[in-house]
Chain A
Amino acid sequence: KQEVTQIPAALSVPEGENLVLNCSFTDSAIYNLQWFRQDPGKGLTSLLLIQSSQREQTSGRLNASLDKSSGRSTLYIAASQPGDSATYLCAVGANTGNQFYFGTGTSLTVIP
């Protein structure tokens, strides 16, 4: 079974700092990988989707990379803002796309 780990579990940074969130997975036979943010008590908002054949995706201040062979993905957030405070989750799609496995998330606090 695919195991997904996110490190660190929590992160606190001052506003304006660049930061990296990590996601690792045990089975490299993946369908795709998606990063989400979740605000307290809310559903998930999609941030970036990386197909299994891609190495990275960018959207605004966010950049996600994927290294399938080493079982790792990173989410880079540039010039962090207090509004970025949320829990960030990565989800790995099984090879058939029928199941997705989530990490436990990284809780980010950006201090004004």
Chain B
Amino acid sequence: TQLLEQSPQFLSIQEGENLTVYCNSSSVFSSLQWYRQEPGEGPVLLVTVVTGGEVKKLKRLTFQFGDARKDSSLHITAAQPGDTGLYLCAGDGENNQGGKLIFGQGTELSVKP
């Protein structure tokens, strides 16, 4: 069974600080996605990484896919209160059929002004 472990599960920081969220597995994924979910809403896709070692930037967010495609990280620079939310990573397994994604348990981020 493929699993994705996210860490930390909870993170409370002050505005302007930097942070990194990790998503790890012992399995290889053909691609990995990051989502952000606000309370009472559905997850919104932020980015997809597909190539080992790939780095993608989205304004102050930097996403990296591990060389072996088993792990990923999300780094936020100078966090803002608007970054508050639940961050989810999700992997598309190498032999995945039917479009199922495997989700991590999420990281709840709170950025205080």
Question: Do A and B associate with each other?
Answer: no
Could you tell me which A residues sit within 8 Å of B by CB distance?
Answer: none
Could you tell me which B residues sit within 8 Å of A by CB distance?
Answer: none
